[in-house]
Every structure is written in C-alpha cells, then in structure tokens.
Amino acid sequence: MNTVRWGLLSTANINRALIPAIREAKKSELVAVASRSLESAEKYAREWEIQQAFGSYDEMLESGEVDAVYIGLPNHLHAEWTIKALEAGMNVLCEKPFATSLDDVDAVIAASDKFGKVAAEAFMYRHHPQTKIVKDWVQEGKLGQITLIRGAFDFRMGPDGRKPGSLNVRMVPEFGGGCLWDVGIYPLSYTQFLMEGPPDWVYGSQKLGPTEVDEVFAGQMGFQTENGEVLAQISCSFNTPLHTFLEIVGTEGRLYISRPFSDMDRKAQVIFTDHKDKSKEIQVPKKSLYLGEVEDLQNAILDGSPTLISLKETRNHVRTALALYESARTGHPVRLFKLG
C-alpha cells in the first residue's frame, strides 16, 4: 500500500474541514462517503465530487474499498463506530471527544490492539507548528518555572439549540452534549499536553441550561511537579461571543496565544512578555489546520510510525473531563487516582 483510501462515516458539517485536508495530503485519497440513506450519501458525493456513496455505515465498512475512516458522528457514537471500523479492518481518525466513558476508551484500545489497526483522536491544533513552538518554549525553560496556565473556548449557540428536545446534538444529554465535551476539551487537552500528563486533582463548576447540559463550565486543575504545584484554569461556554485564548505564566515571563485551537493562519498571535513587561510577537509558519492530523494517521498506516496523540493520552483527556463533571455534580474536588 502506498496510498490511504479514506471514507467519511457520516455527512457531518465537520467534513468540510477534512475534505480539503485529505485531498491535500500527498499519500491520501478520498474515495467514499456513507450516510444513513443512499439518497443522502449520493447527494453528498455529487456535491463534493466523491467517487462512491454508501447507504449505510456498515456497508462502507464491509466494502473493502477504504483503508481509513473519519468519524464525525455525535459524541455518544464515537466509540461504538470506532470499534466497528477497527473490527472491519479499518484505521480510524475519530473526532474529539474520543469517547465519554473510560470503559469505552478501554474497549477501543483493546480493539485496536486485537485487530492491529490504528485509532487516533482528532485534535487538529496539536499538529500545527504553532503548538510545537509553544511547547518548545515551555520545555526549553524560556518562561522559567511554570506557575499557572489559563485557557478558554467560548462561542454563542443559536437560540434553537436550547429548546428541549432540540436536534442540536450539543444540547442533548444522552448524546454526550455539553460545552465541556464540545469545546472545553480543547484547553483541557492543551494543558495536559504542556504538563505532559493529567492533573492530580480537579474542581469543576457548571451552569446547566434547559436541556440539562452544561452551557457554561469552569474548571481548576492542580499538577504536582518537582518544582511545586502548577495550577490551571479552563472555561468554556455556549452563550457568549466567540473567544479563545491560552496563557502560560512562568517566573521569567508569559506566553499569550490568541487563537490556540483554530484560525491560526488568519488571526492568531503568540506574544511573549518578559519579567520586565517587554513584549514581542513570535512568528509562526503557516500550515493548513487539518492537514497534520490526516498526514499523522496516513503515516501511521503506511510507515508504522506512532500517532502524535497516543491512546494513553486520549484516555487521560476523557478521565480528566469525567473528573471535572463529577466535581461539578458533587461540589467537591476530585482526585484523579480514584477514576483508575
């Protein structure tokens, strides 16, 4: 095999970002799309000039026509269809959050090991040069000892999304809805990436909306290091104007990233301010935001290289989010060793 044949499992809106990336990757080819009806799949295939259309997800998995699938289904279906794809001999790039329970993550890991196929969580920002630059600054000690990390991802949900019984999957509890799973998982994962592991404890607070999902969530996390404890504060919301940022504070300076998760090539700034309050902007190379995650899975399939985001790291994303939700429900801090 010298080319990865990709199939889209669903016609979700997020596909619009993946389709150009798959076509840009030199060793990937987009060959198929599957929907819950053949009519829907064929219409989508015509619109996006995709060769094959399948009228069910199972039909595409059983076709033998694809090597890898991208899963952009609602959150509660991620693990189920990742496992089905692995069992059918497919490799999988699954949208975040990878799952909403540790049992589901462990089941995916077991299936990946059993069938010898690759599964990876789709955090596109992790593959962008900006993220590597930020991590290098932290690792090289340019900020001194890290003391605090702050991050947020807010946006405004349309009014129809809040009606009880709404079809907007972000607002349905049994679909894995809620702003922490949807967008708070970004600053959560970024913080753990910088700290190279999960926190020791978390404390969460949430504001529930009429459909009983969290529309606002704020969390604090504590990381014990050899230099003392590092605190992190994350927040997310469905009912404020779009706002994202990440700030890393150290004893010798701080980094402020205006667009840590998206729009990096259009509006992003990475600004370093030293201990004398002098600031400078750090230049970041341009790269298509979603290309990296496609190339990452492609290379893992063709060359056997490890994926940038390991399944162990993915498990810790889910573990921390579950701990934050438990803390928000109980009103008490949660130590992560209790979650396994």
Residues 141 and 174 in one domain: yes
Q: Are residues 116 and 138 in the same domain?
A: no
CATH number of the domain where residue 233 is located: 3.30.360.10
Domain co-membership, 161 together with 71:
no
pLDDT reading at 276 higher than 60: yes
Residue 161 pLDDT exceeds 70: no
Which position has the token pair 């978390």?
202
72 is in which domain, residue-wise? Answer: 4-122+291-306
- Residue 313, domain member (yes or no): no
Domain co-membership, 106 together with 131: no
pLDDT at 146: 97
Is the alpha carbon torsion for 332, 337, 338, 340 positive or negative?
positive
Residue pair 151/252 in contact by the 8 Å Cβ criterion: no
- Residues 170, 70: one domain? no
Does the pLDDT of residue 157 top 90, yes or no? no
| Section 280-295 average pLDDT | 94
| 59 in any annotated domain | yes
Looking at the structure, do residues 168 and 111 belong to the same domain, yes or no?
A: no
pTM: 0.95
Q: What mean pLDDT is reported for the chain? A: 94
Asked if 254 and 334 sit in the same domain, the reply is yes
- How is the beta sheet containing 68-71 ordered, strand by strand? 52-54, 28-34, 4-9, 68-71, 91-95, 119-122
**pLDDT band at residue 124 under the 50/70/90 scheme:** very high
Residue 288 reports pLDDT greater than 70: yes
314 falls within a domain: no
Q: Using 50, 70 and 90 to split pLDDT, how confident is the model at 167?
A: low
Residue with tokens 């900020």: 143
246 phi, psi to nearest 5 deg: -140, 135
Residue 58 inside a domain? The answer is yes
Per the CB < 8 A criterion, the answer to whether 336 and 199 are in contact is yes
Structural domain includes residue 311: no
The CATH number for 110's domain is: 3.40.50.720
pLDDT digit string, tens, across residues 173-198: 999 999 999 999 999 999 999 999 99
Same-domain check for residues 189 and 168 = yes
Alpha helix ranges (H) inside 226-307: 291-303
Q: What is the mean pLDDT of residues 8-15?
A: 95
**133 shares its domain with 46:** no
Strands 270-274 and 91-95: unpaired
Residue 327 is assigned to a structural domain of this protein: yes
Q: Are residues 195 and 284 in the same domain?
A: yes
Percentage of the chain lying above the pLDDT 70 cut? 96
pLDDT of residue 267: 76
- 245, burial (CB in 10 Å: exposed 0-12, middle 13-18, buried 19+): middle
**Are residues 163 and 107 part of one domain?**
no
Give a yes or no: residue 312 inside a domain: no
Is pLDDT above 60 for 166?
no
In a domain, 62, yes or no: yes
Work out how many domains the chain is built from and give that number. 2
pLDDT, tens digit, for every residue of 16-57? 999 999 999 999 999 999 999 999 999 999 999 999 999 999
Which helix (H) or strand (E) segment holds residue 219: the answer is strand 214-225
pLDDT tens track for 52-96? 999 999 999 999 999 999 999 999 999 999 999 999 999 999 999
User: Domain check: are 71 and 162 in the same one?
Assistant: no
